[in-house]
Amino acid sequence: MSIIPFDQREGSLWFNGEIVPWKDAKVHVLTHGLHYGSSVFEGERAYKGKIFKSKEHTERFRKSANILDFDLPFTDAEIIAAKDAVVKANGGGDQYVRPVAFRGSEMMAVSAQHNKIHVAIATWDWPSMFDPETKMKGIRLDIADYRRPDPACAPVHAKAAGLYMICTISKHKAEKKGYADAMMLDWQGRVAECTGANIFFTKDGELHTPIADCFLNGITRQTVIEVAKGQGMTVNERRIMPEELASFNECFIVGSAAEVTPVSEVGPYKFTPGNMSRTLMDTYSNYARA
């Protein structure tokens, strides 16, 4: 299947306050965000032309920028309206939504206090990350070598581009071994998350998920916890050691792109996707599309 490069696609996107043709949105190679990772972004989904939890994503977008010591030059209301405009310009329906903000090219050094902050929003068609026909079979996860960093050593609560470097390395290594993704431990060797999604386990009819203190408390994660409690499920947010995985029955990952996706393997540990995974997969899907 031929893949169209993202800089050659048709359509429109929003760039620094206006809708522009997709191919006209360009930046210089000496952009600070490229060299020093001074960039933040969001991953969102629109269902039937409506962006799911757009307000919450926009608030996190601004928080991430502030953590990286820059301010978004547009209000939340302007960003929300811009996202809606791009979804509409690109045909509505089900789309993936990607706002990004980054420092420009005015200064090329570690210090960049006078660099212009650019904001862009793109949307494109993106169905479920995994084939829905085989989703309940569960995906296979490797266990990554790299770990999520100590919060004292990195801005772990920002959705910052630079933090995803070890995620790309880990996912590539997993894919070369035949896995779909990799589960990462935290800096103390406890279960953390996957390279782009949070992780849940089930045991004795209850949910267990790591405390989100050194990685993003994902908006999908928060939503799944909300809908799980609405289904009468007990949710335990706690420290989970990797050797505990042998005692769990089911496992699934959650994220804007992954939605709710069951897992059949994490390294040497096996799981059987069952009723809790299916219930939350279906309930989340219905909730997001309501």
Please give the positions annotated as active site: 159
Alpha carbons 204 and 188: distance in angstroms, whole number = 27
DSSP 8-state code for residue 53: T
In this structure, what token pair is assigned to residue 179? 């896995």
Enter the DSSP assignment of 245. G
- In residues, how long is the chain? 290
Long-range contacts of 105-113, Cβ-Cβ distance < 8 Å, separation of 24 or more: 105/27, 105/28, 105/30, 105/31, 105/32, 107/32, 108/30, 108/32, 108/35, 110/36, 112/32, 112/36, 112/38
* SS3 at position 213: coil
Nearest C-alpha neighbor of 81 from the set 25, 118, 119, 117:
119
